[in-house]
Amino acid sequence: MNTGRRWTRPQQTHPDWCVQTHACDFYTRPSDGQHRSAPLTADTVYGRLIYTRVASRRQEVLEFRAVIRLDDHPDVAVAEAAQLMTNVDAAIRGTLARTAVRSSSRRQVGAR
């Protein structure tokens, strides 16, 4: 049956940073879809860092991957990996703690 009306897909808006390709499934998965940025990569002397910004309906996160060359000797590689995990965790915790302190102090200054 034809009613004479044309159906159009609702307008979809994405953040400026969203790739708006198949990697962004925000509108195709209504309950848990995510806007995704293009991966940013940084080549370093020790390997490569890959960052991707991701936003769902509940929160925004940063996906972070590191490809790091380890020592050829297995025992040394295990020790390096353990130390890296500890140091990366400490760096992230420290960064987030400083950001939270700055953010809360800004709110307190302007609070009434």
Q: Give strand pairing partners of 67.
A: 48
Which helix H or strand E contains 98, and what residues bound it?
A: helix 74-110
Q: What is the mean pLDDT of residues 84-102?
A: 88
Residue 14 has pLDDT above 70, yes or no: yes
Query: Exposed/middle/buried for 54, CB within 10 Å: 0-12, 13-18, 19+?
Result: middle
CA dihedral 24, 29, 31, 35 (to 10 degrees): 10
Q: What is the mean pLDDT of residues 19-28?
A: 72
pTM above 0.85, yes or no: no
Which pLDDT score, from 0 to 100, does residue 110 have? 45
